[in-house]
Chain A
Amino acid sequence: MFERRLYHHIDWGLITAVAALCGLGLANIYSATGGWTGIVQTQISGIVLGTIALIVCLSLDYRSLADKSHFIYIAIVALLIYVLFFGAVRGGSRRWIDLGPVNLQPSEFAKAALALVLAKFFGESRRWSVTRVDLLIAGALTAVPVLIIARQPDLGTAVTLIPVALAIAYVAGMPMRLLGTLAVVGVLAAPVAWKFALQDYQKERVETFLNPEQDARGAGYQQIQARITVGSGGLWGKGFNEGTQGQLRFLPVAHNDFIFSVLAEEHGFAGVLVALGLYLFVILRALEAARLAKDRLGAYLVLGVLATFTFQVIYNITMSAGLAPVKGLTLPLMSYGGSSMIATLAGFGLILNVRMRRFTN
């Protein structure tokens, strides 16, 4: 099943950039957590397991994977429902399946599963255009995991599933008019959502973002500290392991949600440019894979995986500079987190898979 010639079509550039980002993440976790800790070791295991997942996702033909996508989708939804009732509770939400030494977060894997099932749905469509019925079905397929994850509650992860559907539907030919309508509905729905849908703590986060000094001790604290952390890095940064904001714990969860702030503090604008450059390279390179894909299925699959990745990267980096409301969204490839790492690398396995097999039949 893995032909030798495919090996020559592996995108080594992309792999190198992904590996470099993993390395950067590791170095900053090391710095933020104060050395060779269990956190660093867990992250390394995550990378190793992720690499295995990547190789697995690379080896199987994505078309056969897509053929089984409904099983994968159903399995993930089942897992999500299981978690909702029997998952391990941490920090007030049920997200994890306790597997002894490791905790698995199924919602991370829902992203790839959703990408697969939507790519299959749009890619195998006989029609050349997208009908409203198609969109409704796609919307329903997306809504099921989104709502379940939101119930955990993990609004952050739930939201990251929406770009998957949007990106695939957009490229699949969703009429621009419909897109505009969606945008208008979104804007109009915002106040309604504000009033009825958002929890108080969520409203508070948004209010805090708009005026962080108002609550400098509480929720605004992280945002102010994030700006100070990033800003104080200057051009060249304070040096590896020399960041005061991360080291002295002024920035909460520095190794997780705010890993990019740590990088910005210790390596300055120069380091930020390198990291942004790597991420941009990875995204553009992956978009290239979508363009080169042999079929629509491949292109949509790449897009689906890439959409959630890109959304998370941009949102997290914006947030880590204190320029967006604080949300529990990790930075893929760099933040601490085993499930996220494994799922992200598996996703890149799919992207590499599509590109690698662009000449096969």
Chain B
Amino acid sequence: MAAGEDRRRITTRLTVLQVSVVVAFAALTIGFWYLQIVQGDRFAEMAENNHQRTLALRAPRGVLFDRNGKVMVESRNSYTISIVREHTKDLDRTMRLLAAVAGLNVEDVRQVVARHRSEPTYRPIVIVEDASLAQVAAITARRLDFELPDVVVEEVPTRQYPTDGLAAHLFGYVGEASDTQIGNGIAKGAIVGQSGIERVYNNLLQGQDGARRVVVNSMGREIRTLDESPPVEGRRVQLTIDYDLQKAAEDGFRHAGFNGAALIMDPRNGEVLTYVSLPAYDPNDFAAGIDRATWASLNSDALRPLQNRAIQGRYSPGSTFKIVVATAGLEEGIIDDDFRVNCGGGANFYGRFYRCHLAGGHGLMDVRHAMEKSCNVFFYTVGNMLGVDKIHKWAEKLGLTGKTGIDLPNEQESLVPSTEWKMRRFGEKWYAGETISVAIGQGQVSVTPASLALMMATVANGGTKVTPHLVRAVDEGSGWKMATPPAVANAVVFKPSTLAALHDGLWMVVNAAGTAGRARVPGRDVAGKTGTAQVISNEGRARARGTTRDLRDHGFFVFFAPKDNPELAGVIFGEHNEHGYLGGPIARHIIETYYAKKDGRPLPVLAPKPAPAPAPRETVPDPDSPPVLEDAAPVAAASLPAAGSRQPAELGTR
């Protein structure tokens, strides 16, 4: 009995084991089915990510040429040193070793790594941009020794700008795309134009990044390349800028010893030949990723090197604004060539006495001589006859209001007040007394140097408000294609008598007994006008005494040349240079360079600056100096709007 029962029990229990095994195998089958069939695609993708890497091949940005085909901005190859964390066992050790080998501050390295912590581990974190050859050699040697297997050295194209910061504000700079720039073909980490031409024409210049798909092993080493799409270089762009004129302008500023801005264009078509804003930065600092210290110093610099003064700085134009008043008077028919005003050193308007800069008075002045001598009384009178709205109307026609439309980012709007503007802005009516200050470019008149250049171009070409622009031609990949110049914003045809009066008067400023004799170029008939822009009111000046703020006035020199059929028109803005005529030599150097080049003569070279003699304080009264108001009627003063720092009321007693 026992044997049979034993046999049966063995059979039963064997069956139990049999079934258990079958169940276990069924479970395994289901497990594999789930992994391989249900989740197969997901894991296939993960396996692919495991061993395939898509490496971006950065496209070189398009080369920028000047109008004569000279290369201004190009791309060079530089080395970046990056950490790929994917197979890093001890990141801190890698960072410490890398810092030691490359001579970096380990804290900086940590910060960079921390910033990119959330990115996929296979994406390189760039630690050093534009590494020196010594750094590259040191890293490569350690890499071969497997000491730094997770550090890679890559060759990438980097922007190369002129080393002397030439035209820095024109070119702008490049940098890693910010979060708001991402999208629309711009990927995270892409290098895009952040300012200047680089930004405006980024789409043309950027090119098409390529990619290389490689197989890597579990150590992250590349085994082979699967496929590669080469990067497409950005479009080559020819600028309207003339390298030699640009250099002449910047040399001129350096020689003169002040900062400022200059914009010189061809008044016939709006092509910008020279674009200066000083002080500038070195765009090369940005090209390979700007370091924190440089960025901080650029931002905290009291001279504000990041401000693009030619289009972002707004100043009162001072006497250069008299061109607007003259134009308005002549075109509106309020004055003519024979209209004369007697200047006795000042005049009364609306209960206040407004002074001319020449205490003794200019005597009888017609429009030409008033311009030559920059007679305030003449323009007070004409301005008063015109009224602010007519002045505004002609300022607008000349291009002094709003933006010039130049193809650079962040242009500021120029402002010439009007009754409508004041009502909109302050909800107050315009006082006729305010017009008197406006007539000599004071008061709320606030314009950019670029708009003054446009004004001169419009005056030079007889009324056509061109749009200043910077691109002459673009290589679309199949040869150069001339860029379509922007449409003319608006065109009026000045009366010949108006043009004659304006051109004569401005010619006399330079070539007769005017204020800008320093800009005279024999035989070239330079026409121009100086102006001084107050930085602060006289009252404010008193209050600010003792501070470190630079309160010296700005100087303008606006010009065109030659007088008949002008080929150049522009502005020289001198920051805190106190006298508009100091811009004259810079303009002269540019004009001389222009003609030397045109005639095929050697380009002029500025004589080395004489040793700075103890400069005697200017004793000759500057005709552009802000007029001084005497016998100010308190009522009138109180009635003036108290906004801004350049109020007529502040022209008060010294």
Q: Which residues of A contact B (CB under 8 A)?
A: 128, 167, 170-171, 173, 217, 225, 227-235, 244-245, 248-250, 264-265, 268-269, 272-273, 276, 279-280, 283-284, 287, 290-291, 296, 299, 303, 310, 314, 317-318, 321-323
Closest-CB distance, A250 to chain B (whole angstroms): 4
Closest-CB distance, A269 to chain B (whole angstroms): 4
B424 at the interface (CB under 8 A from A): no
Closest-CB distance, B20 to chain A (whole angstroms): 9
- Cross-chain contact B6 with A296 (CB below 8 angstroms): yes
- Cross-chain contact A321 with B31 (CB below 8 angstroms): yes
A317–B25 Cα gap in the complex (Å)? 10
B295 at the interface (CB under 8 A from A): no
Given contacts A128-B5, A232-B44, 6 further A-B contacts (CB under 8 A): A171-B10, A230-B43, A272-B29, A280-B25, A303-B14, A321-B35
Q: A287-B21, A296-B6 are in contact. Are A248 and B42 (CB under 8 A)?
A: no
Q: Name the residue of chain B whose CB is nearest to the CB of A302.
A: B14
Residues from chain A with Cβ under 8 Å of B423 in the complex: none
- Cross-chain contact B21 with A310 (CB below 8 angstroms): yes
- Cross-chain contact A269 with B33 (CB below 8 angstroms): yes
- Cross-chain contact A234 with B28 (CB below 8 angstroms): no
Residues from chain A with Cβ under 8 Å of B47 in the complex: 228-229, 231-232, 244-245, 250, 265
A229–B216 Cα gap in the complex (Å)? 16
A265–B18 Cα gap in the complex (Å)? 29
Residues from chain A with Cβ under 8 Å of B14 in the complex: 171, 287, 290-291, 299, 303
> Interface readout for B26-70 with A: 1 if CB under 8 Å, 0 if not?
001101110111011111101110110000000000000000000
Q: Can you show 18 pairs from A to B with CB atoms below 8 A apart?
A: A128-B5, A217-B89, A231-B46, A231-B47, A233-B36, A234-B41, A244-B47, A250-B47, A269-B36, A272-B29, A272-B36, A273-B29, A284-B18, A284-B21, A287-B18, A291-B10, A296-B10, A321-B32
A284–B29 Cα gap in the complex (Å)? 16
B606 at the interface (CB under 8 A from A): no
Q: A128-B6, A248-B51, A248-B215 are in contact. Are A232 and B40 (CB under 8 A)?
A: yes
B13 at the interface (CB under 8 A from A): yes
Residues from chain A with Cβ under 8 Å of B215 in the complex: 244, 248
A303–B13 Cα gap in the complex (Å)? 11
Residues from chain A with Cβ under 8 Å of B46 in the complex: 228, 231-232
Residue of B9, B40, B217 near A234 (CB, 8 A) is B40
B547 at the interface (CB under 8 A from A): no
B2 at the interface (CB under 8 A from A): yes
Residues from chain B with Cβ under 8 Å of A265 in the complex: 47
Residues from chain B with Cβ under 8 Å of A321 in the complex: 28, 31-32, 35
- Cross-chain contact A318 with B3 (CB below 8 angstroms): no
- Cross-chain contact A231 with B216 (CB below 8 angstroms): no
Q: Name the residue of chain A whose CB is nearest to the CB of B216.
A: A248
Residue of A290, A303, A318 near B31 (CB, 8 A) is A318
B184 at the interface (CB under 8 A from A): no
Residue of A230, A249, A296 near B32 (CB, 8 A) is A230
Residues from chain A with Cβ under 8 Å of B51 in the complex: 244-245, 248, 250
Q: Name the residue of chain B whose CB is nearest to the CB of A277.
A: B25
Closest-CB distance, B7 to chain A (whole angstroms): 9
Q: A244-B50, A290-B14, A317-B28 are in contact. Are A250 and B37 (CB under 8 A)?
A: no
Q: A244-B50, A269-B32, A284-B21 are in contact. Are A231 and B39 (CB under 8 A)?
A: yes
Q: Name the residue of chain B whose CB is nearest to the CB of A167.
A: B17
Residues from chain A with Cβ under 8 Å of B24 in the complex: 314
Q: A167-B17, A171-B17 are in contact. Are A230 and B218 (CB under 8 A)?
A: no
Q: A173-B6, A248-B215, A318-B28 are in contact. Are A230 and B36 (CB under 8 A)?
A: yes
- Cross-chain contact B36 with A228 (CB below 8 angstroms): no
B636 at the interface (CB under 8 A from A): no
Residues from chain B with Cβ under 8 Å of A170 in the complex: 13, 17
Residues from chain B with Cβ under 8 Å of A269 in the complex: 32-33, 36-37
B385 at the interface (CB under 8 A from A): no
Residue of B5, B13, B28, B218 near A249 (CB, 8 A) is B218
Residues from chain A with Cβ under 8 Å of B3 in the complex: 128
Residues from chain B with Cβ under 8 Å of A299 in the complex: 10, 14
B605 at the interface (CB under 8 A from A): no
- Cross-chain contact B21 with A230 (CB below 8 angstroms): no
B223 at the interface (CB under 8 A from A): yes
A217–B86 Cα gap in the complex (Å)? 9
- Cross-chain contact B21 with A231 (CB below 8 angstroms): no
- Cross-chain contact B32 with A248 (CB below 8 angstroms): no
A314–B41 Cα gap in the complex (Å)? 25
- Cross-chain contact B28 with A231 (CB below 8 angstroms): no
Residues from chain A with Cβ under 8 Å of B41 in the complex: 234
Closest-CB distance, B430 to chain A (whole angstroms): 72
A299–B218 Cα gap in the complex (Å)? 48
B22 at the interface (CB under 8 A from A): yes
> Interface readout for B480-497 with A: 1 if CB under 8 Å, 0 if not?
000000000000000000
B219 at the interface (CB under 8 A from A): yes
- Which 5 pairs between the two chains have the least Cβ-Cβ distance? A231-B43, A232-B47, A128-B2, A234-B40, A249-B218
A173–B29 Cα gap in the complex (Å)? 31
Closest-CB distance, A56 to chain B (whole angstroms): 27
B11 at the interface (CB under 8 A from A): yes
- Cross-chain contact A233 with B40 (CB below 8 angstroms): yes
A310–B31 Cα gap in the complex (Å)? 18
Q: Name the residue of chain B whose CB is nearest to the CB of A268.
A: B36
Q: Name the residue of chain B whose CB is nearest to the CB of A173.
A: B9
> Interface readout for B207-246 with A: 1 if CB under 8 Å, 0 if not?
0000000011111000100000000000000000000000
Residues from chain A with Cβ under 8 Å of B36 in the complex: 230-231, 233-235, 264, 268-269, 272
Residues from chain B with Cβ under 8 Å of A284 in the complex: 18, 21-22
Closest-CB distance, A309 to chain B (whole angstroms): 11
- Cross-chain contact B11 with A230 (CB below 8 angstroms): no
- Cross-chain contact A227 with B31 (CB below 8 angstroms): no
A317–B24 Cα gap in the complex (Å)? 11
Q: Which of B31, B36, B40, B43 has the most CB of A within 10 A?
A: B36
Closest-CB distance, B35 to chain A (whole angstroms): 4
Q: Name the residue of chain B whose CB is nearest to the CB of A249.
A: B218
